[in-house]
Amino acid sequence: MSLEGILGLPAQAIGIVVFAHGSGSGRFSPRNNVVARYLQRGQVATLLLDLLTPDEAEDRRKVFDIDLLADRVLLAKAWLTHDDRTKHLGIGYFGASTGAGAALQAAARDPSSIMAVVSRGGRPDLAEPYLPSVAAPTLLIVGGDDEPVIEMNRTAYRLLACQKRLVIVPGASHLFEEPGTLEQVAAQALAWFQRYFHAAQHEGGVTATKESHR
């Protein structure tokens, strides 16, 4: 099978981030494209892709099938590790809403070359059985007005045993539509990815740690 995607490859990229979109969204997600452009300006390559084919996207069961979505994230990772343009780059995952569950499950199932994970307004609880096995440093970003999702992220935070951070953006709703809030997400994500991509370059690989901070 084949998946449609958009590869953004800046000069001298220090790593590449696969975007796992939320339910009903895909490579043209306006919010994720804003974040992707921000990352590219910081020398982080991006891959925005549709995790489902058009026919599959019409099936609500598949839209919320986190196991299937994680399988597709891993397919994207495998492609990146074989493509000449990206095979030398460390990989990160950026998951939004239900896509965060898929990204975290994928990171736990195959941790090789995964340098960092970022969740935006995510549902990490959908990957709950996998959370203690996530080795990649994980940043959870939640809107301050997104009360139910805040609690889901706090629970997930406690289950993660990796380097981790939980950031609550004041005044932001689930979709970060309020002025300036999505830019805060992008800045936090870029700093997180840059930190761990650079660390991996210096160390020659991924070093999992139990240290955490908030």
- CATH number assigned to the domain comprising residue 136: 3.40.50.1820
Whether residue 208 lies inside any domain: the answer is no
> Beta strand 138-143 with 91-96: parallel, antiparallel or unpaired?
unpaired
> What radius of gyration do the chain's Cα atoms show?
15
Q: Would you state the pLDDT for residue 200?
A: 86
Whether residue 214 lies inside any domain: the answer is no
Whether residue 100 lies inside any domain: the answer is yes
What residue numbers bound the domain in which 86 lies? 5-203
Whether residue 25 lies inside any domain: the answer is yes
| Model confidence pLDDT, tens digit, residues 75-88 | 999 999 999 999 99
What is the total count of domains within the chain? 1
Query: What order of strands is seen across the sheet that includes strand 164-169?
Result: 5-8, 44-49, 15-20, 91-96, 114-120, 138-143, 164-169
Q: Would you state the pLDDT for residue 204?
A: 64
Residue 140: strand pairing partners: 119, 166
Judge contact between 145 and 171, C-beta under 8 A: yes
Structure-block tokens of residue 202: 């210096």
- pTM of the entire structure? 0.92
Residue ranges of the chain whose pLDDT lies below 70: 1, 24, 204-214
Whether residue 209 lies inside any domain: the answer is no
User: CA 129 to CA 191: how far, in whole Å?
Assistant: 28
User: CA 179 to CA 182: how far, in whole Å?
Assistant: 8
Q: Would you state the pLDDT for residue 201?
A: 81
Whether residue 61 lies inside any domain: the answer is yes
User: CA 22 to CA 32: how far, in whole Å?
Assistant: 10
Q: Would you state the pLDDT for residue 213?
A: 36
Judge contact between 169 and 176, C-beta under 8 A: yes
Whether residue 75 lies inside any domain: the answer is yes
Whether residue 115 lies inside any domain: the answer is yes
